[in-house]
Amino acid sequence: GTPSLCCLARVMYNKMWHQTQEALGALLDKEPQKMVEPQRNQVFIFQTLATFYIKYVQIFRNLENVYDQIVHPQKRILIRKVLDGVMGRILELKNEMVELELTEFHYFDDILQDLKLAPQQLDIPIPKYFLKEKLEVIKGREKILAQILADSGIDTSEMKFPVKSMPFDQAVKLIQIAERARQGRLRALFMKQIYLQEYRAKQSKTLGKKVTDSWAAALCIQKVWRRFHQCKKTEKLREEEMIFLGMNPPPLFNEVSATVIQAEKVDRLRNEVQMKHEEDYREALVTIKNDLKLIEGLDIKENLQDQIRHWFIECRNLTGTFPDYPDIEEGGSAIIFSNKTIQQVIEDIIANQEEEEKNEKKKKKKKEKQPKKTKRQKKGTKEKNKEEDEKWKMSPSLFLPAMKEGCNAYKEIWMNKDESWNFSQDFDPELIKEEKRKELESEIRVQVDELMRQELKNLKLAVDREREHPAKVGKKKKKKGKKGKKKEKKTKKDKDLTADRTIESLYKELVEEGLLIQALKVNLSDYIGEYSYLGTTLRQVSIEPMPSLLDVRQLITLYGIWPLGSAAVHEKAPLVKSLLLAGPSGVGKKMLVHAICTETGANLFNLSSSNIAGKYPGKNGLQMMLHAVFKVARQLQPSVVWIEDTEKTFYKKVPNAEKTNEPKRLKRHLLQILKLLKPDDRILIVGTTRRPFDAELQPFCRVYQKIILVPRPDYASRYVLWKQIIERNGGVLTSALNVSCLAKVTDGFTQGHIVKVVKAVLTDQRIRRQIHKPLTAVEFITAITSMDPVYKEEEESFKNWYAKTPLGKKRALAITGGSTEKAKDKGKRKEKKEKKAKKKK
């Protein structure tokens, strides 16, 4: 049954976790050894970075699967910590590869062959906990949004399917036409039946005169039957052979099997167990802490007091004076006794005294003997520094310490832990006791510190007759006063224009104005495509390949979904505040924006020039709108701010037809908004454009940090697209439908074109007729002939435009012969010149 399957799955995923942790530990040991040494060979550097990147992706895939399936709450906390660390490290390595190769797209064909991995294993999944953990919040928000839309009379269903009104006379005529057509069809059928009856009568009369041979008739029937039977047999054998070779799918390939249904049941049951164990664990945290407070609280307090008193006496005996008690801001007595015994504390005091004396002696000697550097020595040091700069070095990671901590915790607690008693994988009370004992000790230590400070004052007064100097207190007070003034100044700068309003009222206003819209429920997996298998070989011949659709999908995951989904990753990972999706119409830019919102549960704000036209007029109105949008976006993060046709905001010259809409309203404010966004703010500005060449390049590239070219689909992607879109719309793929021919013929057509054609051909009537008349490629080709494809000239114009962007220029320079460092230097020089020119103006 399902419980036994659940138990087997637990054992399997525990084993997977242990194997993944071992692999991660080995990788963390290898990485510092290879990355510390400075290198010059660019190919070697990229290969090392790429191998680490691929290995981390494999570890992430396993860890994400394990985190989703394991039931033990304490194990899940540790796995989550490591998982966030691995995600951050992948983003850091990606950033290093971008800086090294000066391109957003990388190809690992040769490395995948060496590691014996398929390209599908490089696909980056989206962690399921992004939505699982805030499912209730998202559902509640969707209900509120639907309610506001219904109250304001903006119904999304009516917007999608508008019903046109028709005059009464026209409606009567339409019914009459339909009725006459029906009667005509019936009359035609009746006449056909009469004709067939007459024809049969004539045939019977002519055949009746001839003398038929029964043997000849039987032989004729046998020939026909045997031929039919053999044809069917050979067809079946051919189909079986194709299935065996893997050229055709098995007969029940598209049908949901019983094992899949059973697996889904097990998943649901496991999710319920996860939720129950989490609740039990949260309750246990409170109850166990309260029990410890009652049983061990007084003993902990007495031990701490005795420890601190002993420290007072030992310091008095060694130095002749009582020590200064550490302040609350510094951490109190916890700094002195952090995992140390009293003897160790005394040894530290003696060692500090000796070090201070030695440092004073050294300073005196250095002052006496300070040789002056000659010009030659200075030149030599400069040359050495230049050589060191030329060599590549890995930038320090912010995620490696967290991963190492996680690995050490795994080795200490879980690696060799006997869990035979915990078959149900519930929480471990002993581990909770250890954690809560430390928490309780820190809480009691604060109370003890207050008591011991007073006791130390009394001791000083009684023994040393020392009193506090009033001057010091005064100084401290003055400093505090200065800090308070600084804070006041900061608050004056950051004015809250809507301080008197609640977030709920602002949310409602933005929905009613159409600035906060409902995101379409589209998953990133619906963005169908295929891998680029010739990327590395083309680059070796110095030909820059066009990225595949799956390369674009991976970048959306790395730059958009991961940072928005995880707060821990967003805070420390290389910060991406803005993203530009540039490509011809119909390649799925809008779909990708909605997919980011769906996968992360983010709010979607639409600040397109066409959407904000006529709303919040004037400078004050614009400031108010932006303030309200970003205030709500911060409070209800993660959030996506979408600017459709963003080239209009940066027009070189505004067309006369669009001047009334003021498309360049946001141009000046976007850079200011980006500067105000902090690592804590999980807000992403996404722009989509189909005509980037109409925009001013410099301000355009300043606003958008990452520019992703979304290409038209190649042959492999078109083949997959045709198959999947036909099947999703109710079509059945047979040998009569040549999908390969369709993919070849439709070169230059986008995903949007393919979807339109499939929907036009596969009507309800055509779907019903598939049994008698299977689908053919001609039906789709005739429908697509009326559409205009994306020509090579348009694709080349996008390539040429991208070559003018900062990263594109650096890449072009590197390819033509200049090194990546020279390209970087040139880019920096140009930026400096631009800044100087601005200052002069």
Query: What is the model's pLDDT at position 394?
Result: 76
Query: Taking residues 207-220, what's their average pLDDT?
Result: 72
Residue 161: both structure tokens together = 């399917």
In the predicted structure, residue 90 carries a pLDDT above the cut 90: yes
Question: Rounded to an integer, what distance in angstroms lies between the CA atom of residue 346 and that of residue 350?
Answer: 6
Whose structure tokens read 């020089």? Answer: 829
Query: Taking residues 576-602, what's their average pLDDT?
Result: 92
SS3 (DSSP) at 643: strand
Query: Taking residues 73-81, what's their average pLDDT?
Result: 90
Taking only the tens place, the pLDDT of each residue in 631-666 is: 999 888 899 999 998 988 888 888 888 888 788 888
| 460 confidence band (pLDDT: 50, 70, 90) | confident
| 222 confidence band (pLDDT: 50, 70, 90) | very high
Q: How many CB atoms are located within 10 Å of the residue 719 CB?
A: 18
SS3 (DSSP) at 95: helix
* CB-neighbour burial class of residue 308 (10 A; exposed 0-12, middle 13-18, buried 19+): buried
Query: What is the model's pLDDT at position 488?
Result: 41
Question: Rounded to an integer, what distance in angstroms lies between the CA atom of residue 240 and that of residue 329?
Answer: 77
Confirm if 120 and 559 have CB atoms less than 8 A apart: no
Confirm if 21 and 407 have CB atoms less than 8 A apart: yes
302: enclosing H helix or E strand: helix 258-319
Query: Taking residues 121-150, what's their average pLDDT?
Result: 86
% the chain with pLDDT above 70: 83
**β-pair partners for 603:** 639
Q: List alpha helices for 210-257, DSSP H.
A: 214-245
Residue among 450, 233, 159 nearest 326 (CA)? 450
Whose structure tokens read 């799956």? Answer: 550
Query: Taking residues 237-255, what's their average pLDDT?
Result: 82
The CATH code belonging to domain 514-709 is 3.40.50.300
Query: What is the model's pLDDT at position 462?
Result: 74
DSSP code at position 19:
H
% the chain with pLDDT above 90: 21
Report the 3 state secondary structure along 111-125.
HHHHHCCCHHHHCCC
Q: How many CB atoms are located within 10 Å of the residue 700 CB?
A: 22
Mean of the per-residue pLDDT values of the chain: 81
Q: Starting from the edge strand earliest in sequence, which strands make up the sheet with 578-582, in order? A: 516-517, 603-606, 639-644, 683-689, 578-582, 706-709
Report the 3 state secondary structure along 135-160.
HHHHHHHHHHHHHHHHHCCCCHHHHH
SS3 (DSSP) at 452: helix
**Cis amide leading into 692 (omega within 30):** no
In the predicted structure, residue 771 carries a pLDDT above the cut 70: yes
For β-strands 516-517 and 603-606, DSSP reports them as antiparallel
Query: What is the model's pLDDT at position 563?
Result: 92
| 342 confidence band (pLDDT: 50, 70, 90) | low
In the predicted structure, residue 686 carries a pLDDT above the cut 90: yes
Whose structure tokens read 């952090």? Answer: 338
In the predicted structure, residue 595 carries a pLDDT above the cut 90: yes
Q: Which phi-psi region, left, alpha or beta, contains residue 618 (left: φ > 0; alpha: ψ -120 to 50)?
A: left
In the predicted structure, residue 820 carries a pLDDT above the cut 50: no
- The domain defined by 715-794 carries CATH number 1.10.8.60: yes
Residue among 115, 137, 135, 4 nearest 57 (CA)? 115
Query: What is the model's pLDDT at position 825?
Result: 53
Residues of 118-143 as b/e, b for ≥16 C-beta within 10 angstroms?
ebeebebebbebbeeebeeeeeebee
Q: Is the pTM of this model over 0.75?
A: yes
DSSP code at position 705:
S
Taking only the tens place, the pLDDT of each residue in 168-185 is: 889 999 999 999 999 999
Taking only the tens place, the pLDDT of each residue in 461-473 is: 777 554 444 444 4
Query: Taking residues 23-48, what's their average pLDDT?
Result: 80
Query: What is the model's pLDDT at position 2?
Result: 55
Whose structure tokens read 């009568």? Answer: 201
Least confident of 221-235, 339-353, 657-671: 339-353
Query: Taking residues 785-808, what's their average pLDDT?
Result: 88
Termini Cα distance of the chain:
78
> What's the half-sphere exposure (Cβ side, CA atoms, 13 Å) at 283?
7
Taking only the tens place, the pLDDT of each residue in 372-419 is: 545 555 555 555 554 444 566 778 888 988 899 999 999 888 888 888
In the predicted structure, residue 476 carries a pLDDT above the cut 50: no
Least confident of 374-378, 525-529, 623-627: 374-378
What one-letter code names the amino acid at 693?
A: F
Whose structure tokens read 């009569």? Answer: 736
Confirm if 749 and 583 have CB atoms less than 8 A apart: no
Q: How many CB atoms are located within 10 Å of the residue 384 CB?
A: 10
Whose structure tokens read 């990546």? Answer: 820
* CB-neighbour burial class of residue 699 (10 A; exposed 0-12, middle 13-18, buried 19+): middle
Query: Taking residues 807-824, what's their average pLDDT?
Result: 70
Question: Rounded to an integer, what distance in angstroms lies between the CA atom of residue 200 and that of residue 191?
Answer: 14
Query: Taking residues 549-562, what's their average pLDDT?
Result: 92
Residue 566: both structure tokens together = 């995880």
Confirm if 689 and 645 have CB atoms less than 8 A apart: yes
Confirm if 720 and 530 have CB atoms less than 8 A apart: yes
Question: Rounded to an integer, what distance in angstroms lies between the CA atom of residue 683 and that of residue 564?
Answer: 7
744: enclosing H helix or E strand: helix 739-745
Question: Rounded to an integer, what distance in angstroms lies between the CA atom of residue 718 and that of residue 130?
Answer: 31
CB neighbour list of residue 135: distance below 8 Å, 6 or more residues apart: none
Pairwise pLDDT comparison (815 vs 208), residue with the higher score: 815
**Domain boundaries defined on the chain:** 1-129+395-423, 220-251, 514-709, 715-794, 805-838
Query: Taking residues 25-35, what's their average pLDDT?
Result: 82
